[in-house]
Amino acid sequence: MDTTFVNATVLDVRNGQLVEDQTVAIRNGRITRDLEATAQVIDLHGRTLMPGLIDSHVHVTQASESFAELTSWPASYATVRSTQILKDMLLRGFTTVRDLGGADAGLARALREGLIEGPRLLYGGPILAPTGGHVLTRICDGPVELRRAIREQMAQGAHHIKLTLSGGVVSSMALDALAYSEEEIRAAVEEAGFGHGYVAGHAYSAASVNRALRYGVRTIEHGNLIDEESVSLFLERDAFLVPTLATFDALRRSGAEHLSPEGKGKLDNILELGLQALELADRAGVALGYGTDLHGALHAHQLDEFTLRAEVQKPADILRSATVVGAEIAGLVGQVGEIRDGAWADLLVVDGNPLEDIAVLTDPERRLRLIMQGGRIVKNTLDKENTDVP
C-alpha cells in the first residue's frame, strides 16, 4: 500500500541533523517527491523517521555458538534455523545485511520473493581459507583453486568474496598469524573484480591488514590490531574497516563455553584493543561500517554494537556507519541507508533523538514504533489515531 508520512522529524544521517515537520511519500516501495494523496497517511506527530539500519557483518545461518555443532548440520536444517534469525534482525530495525559466510542464493531468493521475512540479504557464499586455517570454510590453496572457487561463487550471484587473512578468536591460528600469499590474494582480488565483486578480508593484526590493503582487499573485517600505517592505507585505498565489537563482548559475557582454552585466552583484551583501533580509525576519518559477527543465541546482542561504539564515537558517526557507510560497502548508495528520492522505502519510526541518545536504537520493543521495508509495513505500534486509511 502506498503511504505518506506527515509531521515527521526526518533524520538526515549524512549530515547528522534532524529536519522537522516533513512529509515523506512512498510509492511502489520507494521514496518519492510526489506528494499526491495516497491510500494511507500516517501522522508521526513529530516522531523521528530514519532510514533502516545496515549490518555489514552477519552470519545468518550460524544458529549455534558451537562451530562443531554447525559443521554437523545439513544445509537444509541450517537454512530453516536461519529464518528466525533473519526475522529477529528485521524486528531490530536492520533492513539490509551483508552476510560474511553461510548464506547463499536460495536464501536471498526466498527473502526477495517474500517466502520468509527478513532484511535485504547480500551474500558471498562460503568463506575461503587455506589448508590449516578456519573451520566452516571452503579450503582453497593457490591462485588456481581460489580463482575456480570465486568463479563458481560469483556465477551463483555472490556479492563479495571473503578470505581469511589471519588467525581469529575461534580459529586455531594465532591472531597474528598470516594466511595466503601475495600472489593468492592478488589473484582473488582480480577474480572477484571480474565478476563485479570485491574481496572482504578477515584480518586482525596490523601486518595482515596492511598487506591485504596493499594487495587490493576492499573491506577489512575486525581489524582489532591496526596501526598508524593501517590508517594511512585505508585512506589511500578508499577501503573500509568493519569492526565487530559486539561479538567479543557477547562471548565474554556468555562465558564462551564452546571456545577452546586458547580461544578463551584470546578474549582477554581483544575488546579493549578493538575499541582502541576504532578510536584510531575514527579520529583519522577511516570509513567505518557497522558489523556484529554474532552466532547462535548471541544474535540477540546485535544492537549492543551501538552501545560499545558510543564509548569512543559520537552518535552521528555511529549512525553513519549503520546507514550511509553501509550503503557504500553494499554498493547501494542512493538505494538504501538514507531518506532520499528514489531510495527503497526502508524506514524506521523511533521515539526519541538518536543523535543525542544512541540508546534510542537499543530498545526496539519500546522505542522502535514502526518498521517499513520496501514500502511494506512489518511492524506498527503507533496509536490507531495516527493512521488515516480512507
Same domain for 62 and 33: no
Provide the pLDDT for residue 295: 95
Provide the pLDDT for residue 259: 77
Which ranges in 96-244 belong to alpha helices (H)?
A: 105-112, 142-155, 182-194, 206-214, 228-237
Q: Could you write out the DSSP letters of every residue in 81-101?
A: HHHHHHHHHHHTTEEEEEESS
Same domain for 7 and 48: yes
What gap in Å lies between CA 112 and CA 298, rounded to an integer?
A: 26
- Domain harbouring 97, CATH code: 3.20.20.140
Residues facing 121 on adjacent strands? 97
Same domain for 293 and 160: yes
What gap in Å lies between CA 57 and CA 291, rounded to an integer?
A: 4
- Domain harbouring 345, CATH code: 2.30.40.10
Provide the pLDDT for residue 384: 56
Provide the pLDDT for residue 254: 85
Same domain for 66 and 38: no
Counting Cβ atoms within 10 Å, is residue 295 exposed (0-12), middle (13-18) or buried (19+)? buried
pLDDT at 261 over 80: no
Provide the pLDDT for residue 371: 99
The H helix count followed by the E strand count for the chain is: 13, 19
CA angle (192, 164, 203) in 5-degree steps: 110
What gap in Å lies between CA 64 and CA 170, rounded to an integer?
A: 13
Counting Cβ atoms within 10 Å, is residue 3 exposed (0-12), middle (13-18) or buried (19+)? buried
Average pLDDT, the chain: 95
Provide the pLDDT for residue 110: 97
Provide the pLDDT for residue 264: 77
Provide the pLDDT for residue 35: 81
User: Which has more confidence, 36 or 78?
Assistant: 78
Is pTM beyond 0.85? Reply is: yes
Nearest to 121 by CA among 31, 55, 200, 63: 55
pLDDT at 68 over 90: no
pLDDT at 203 over 90: yes
Within its chain, how far is the Cα of 315 from the centroid? 17
Provide the pLDDT for residue 141: 97
Average pLDDT over residues 76-104: 97
Q: What percent of the chain has pLDDT over 90?
A: 86
- The residue type found at 107 is L
Provide the pLDDT for residue 190: 99
Average pLDDT over residues 255-275: 83
Same domain for 291 and 379: no
The pLDDT tens digits of the residues spanning 118-169 come to 999 999 999 999 998 888 899 999 999 999 999 999 999 999 999 999 998 8
Least confident residue range of 172-176, 215-219, 325-329? 172-176
Provide the pLDDT for residue 156: 96
Provide the pLDDT for residue 44: 98
What values do phi and psi take at 54, rounded to 5? Answer: -125, 120
Residues 6+ apart with CB under 8 A from 5: 22, 23, 24, 25, 26, 42, 44, 49, 347, 349
Same domain for 203 and 110: yes
Nearest to 304 by CA among 327, 271, 280, 326: 271
Question: What domain range includes position 301?
Answer: 53-330
What gap in Å lies between CA 191 and CA 212, rounded to an integer?
A: 15
Provide the pLDDT for residue 389: 41
Q: Could you write out the DSSP letters of every residue in 349-364?
A: EESS-TTT-GGGGS-H
Same domain for 304 and 175: yes
Cell numbers for 57: 557483518
H or E stretch including 278? helix 261-284
Cell numbers for 143: 591462485
The pLDDT tens digits of the residues spanning 292-336 come to 999 999 999 999 999 999 999 999 999 999 999 999 999 999 999
The structural domain count of the chain equals 2
Same domain for 87 and 33: no
Same domain for 39 and 79: no
Same domain for 57 and 159: yes
